[in-house]
A and B are shown apart, each in its own frame.
Chain A
Amino acid sequence: MIRYIIKRLLYLIPVILCVSFLVFALMDLTPGSIVDSMIPSDATPEMKQAILEQYDMDKPMLYRYAKYMYHFVQGDLGKSDISGESILNMYLTRLPNTLLLAVTSLFIAALLAIPMGIRAARHAGTLTDTLTTVVTLIGMSMPAFWLGLILLFIFSFQLRWFPAGGNMGFVSYILPSVCNGLNMMAGTTRQTRSAMLEVLNADFLRTARAKGVPERRVIWKHALGNAMIPILTTLGGNLSTAMAGSVVIESVFAWPGVGRLTAEAIMSRDTKLACGAVIMTTILYVVMMLLIDLAYAFVDPRIKARYVRAKKVRRRAVS
């Protein structure tokens, strides 16, 4: 298992290198960079040359990328072109907001989606099932920002229950989490329903019932345990996307998270900040995806057994 984790972690290195190169190259190509705007229109060729040299603009892009990555691995992402603050600091102060929001949304989504999906699957073809399908289809089709605005209008402006934006403690988490959670809920419910439908007619459930296992345990342990992999995949995908910053939801609720930081950096042409934020977020995203892959082994003993067996076989081969 540990060997596998190390192998997967090593595999992340080329992925991160390629992604960072791609993002760096794209950002480097952006016309109208901060260096261009620093050159006055009446600059002499020497002045122009001096400014270009100061920012290594006279050297090839590959050189600038190598230099950037050399500093990057040392934790130095440079300073923002606009505010002059350290980019790593800016990112890290915003990150907890995004992470907490992602976790609370996931919690809401799982809490709603799994029981709903199970109910729909157990009563497949009935009115409950149809209603669930309709609700999830609408949930999947609703733009997150629109749902956010509707929630804001009802709960913040009309009922005045929650603040309209920013992070002011616990109450501020509720609306964005509910909005994000409802958005995630739709896909997860559908996935839970179809995964449960696949296992509900399985022989082992009949055996469990014949043994006298209570129905509640049959469904929640025996059936759900076997349907967990696809549900986990959907939830995990949602979590990684939310951790990468739900740009739109953070923008609606004026949430001080990394998604909004990235969007603002891109819009204000703060190339360095945008580049650093996108690369950091991507690293976070791939690491999350890896963790979800590893979580499969904990949920499903069959997958875990595969790792363990591989190890045993290898040991036997060595001895």
Chain B
Amino acid sequence: MIGAAIRTRIRTAICGSFILLSVTTAGGAGDCPATGDTVVIATIGDATSMIPMITSDTASHEMSAFCYNGLLKYDKDLSLVGDLAQSWRISEDNLTITFYLRQNVRFHDGQPYTAHDALFNWRFMVDPATPTGYSYDYEQVAEAEVLDDYTFQVRYAAPYAPGLASWTLPQMPRHLLEGQDPRQSPLSRHPVGTGPYLFRQWNPGESLTLSYNRDYFEGRPCLDAVVYRIIPDLATIFMELSALGLDWSTLTPVQYQRQANSEFFQNNFNKYKYLSSSYSFIGWNMRDPRFQDIRIRRAMSHAIDRREIIKGVLLGMGQEATGPLKPGTYWYNPNVPRYEYDPQKALQLFKEAGWELAPDGRLRNAGGDPFDFVLITNQGNTSRQNAGVFIQYRLAQVGIKVDLRVIEWTSFLQEFVNQRRFDAVLLGWTIPPDPSPSLYSVFHSSNRDPGKLNITGYASQELDALLEQELKVLEQTERKVLHDRIQEIIARDQPYTFLYLPQALPIVHRRFQGIEETSSGISHNFIRWHVPQEQQMRPYIFMER
């Protein structure tokens, strides 16, 4: 149990029959300069279940992640590396993936983790009785089998590029879940996994406590316990931080730039920032003939000042979006057509499309109709609502009257977005580490039907072909070429006016050491966070209940 951690990270350049190896030597407490202390984390919502794959809320996924491992995981650069699988191999024909599992991994209850568990987890995901929304990736697997206790193999019917990434699936214990209704299973209230932290206690709506797993295969995590406190109100969270009742939370841009700048905060906390994996956009409904005209959509993109929105709404804590992928990641293509703020150019484009500024300051067509439209957005995202006001103001300057309407989430989806009853919609998407399936759902023309995700009704044969091709290519550089082209086409056609990516703004108490700030966040090496003995604030007292 000694020795420094040797981590050989290998990019997920998947091709031919290379054996990809990710060696991680398990370390003992020796990896921790100090052990002990508790981190108290604020969350605005409680988890719904500790079986993550049957939930859709962030809290459930985030909290249960401490208890579970996948076969693979993303490292700090968002490349796939082994987790419970020590290595994996993709066959020549790109159809079969073989996982070579770590040996001597045990669940929290002492039972060994084997390939039979891996097989069970696949079966669980494709079982019609499992109430999950995430079965699609696993249904692409034609056949899965256990070769021996530590070798697990899946075979796809056709090459499926996002397949590998789907094996980050949290591995549930077969011996506790098999043959059970997952919603009735005790696991949903009391997770038993292989992860770095053990479940201790859950007071619904109030708090959730986890304590360290001394037998974790990557070595004991340094912090003794993790406590989530559920505090739905952002102002209260800030008060708790001010009273040192919390160690880790996320700030709003105003809190980050103004309130948390006091001497007290500088002495007690470290603030971090990284680009979040989501972007906000305006989707133009192309069932409306006005927005079908590419000149109009480009004109809109020129008429809106993104920098101003970032400055005014996010207080500078964000970045302009140029397309649907995250700047700074492998897949992102910066060389796409950009639409600088230029009202003159916008007016020029409107004019070409038959809309001119009338003497009364309104944009009108030959028939004298004014260019008015309704922009809808969902309730609950304050930045987006505020951005709507900036958009309203800038479009008014080119003679367009925008009605901004904020609607409760479920009604917003059911009555407006899914039914396509809108002129333009202000919304956001998250950007998953592997972008393929979501780009396909959002921009492929087959997904235009009501209820599906191509909400603008955008259809481009050129893009469709690329998206289809991309799903079948596994070779990384080849995929990158296709993705670059996809981003160019989307930027050219502007089905969306891409607005911004907000920054995530976490704040952590100063006593925590070993935090690595990367472009993907700060939590990837959480198990190595530690607090020097003399600075520890919250000793965790173990109590059997």
Partners in one complex: no
B-to-A contact residues, CB < 8 Å: none
A-to-B contact residues, CB < 8 Å: none
